[in-house]
Amino acid sequence: MAKGKRPLPKKSKVPRPMAEQQIMLHRRVISTIAKTAGDTGYAYSITLSDLNASDILSLFSEYKIVSVVARHQLVNAPNNNATFPRLHIAPRGFSVTNPTSRNEVLQYNNLRQYQFGPANISYGQTFAPYVWVDAVATSGTGKEVVKSPWLATDSDTVRHNYAVTWIDRYNSTSDPTHTIELLLDVTLIARRPR
Q: What is the pLDDT of residues 119-152, one digit of tens each?
A: 899 999 999 999 987 666 555 566 788 898 999 9
Question: In whole angstroms, what is the distance from residue 109 CA to residue 98 CA?
Answer: 17
- The tens digit of pLDDT for each residue in 42-95 reads 999 999 999 988 889 999 999 999 999 999 999 988 888 788 999 999 998 887
Question: In whole angstroms, what is the distance from residue 170 CA to residue 180 CA?
Answer: 9
First vs last Cα of the chain: how many Å apart? 53
What's 117's DSSP letter? B
**pLDDT at residue 126 in the model:** 97
Indicate the length of the chain as a whole number. 194
Question: In whole angstroms, what is the distance from residue 44 CA to residue 97 CA?
Answer: 9
| Predicted structure pTM score | 0.81
**pLDDT at residue 2 in the model:** 59
Question: In whole angstroms, what is the distance from residue 129 CA to residue 27 CA?
Answer: 15
Phi, psi (deg, nearest 5) at residue 83: -110, 20
Question: In whole angstroms, what is the distance from residue 68 CA to residue 163 CA?
Answer: 10
Question: In whole angstroms, what is the distance from residue 187 CA to residue 55 CA?
Answer: 15
* Burial class of residue 142, CB neighbours in 10 A (0-12, 13-18, 19+): exposed
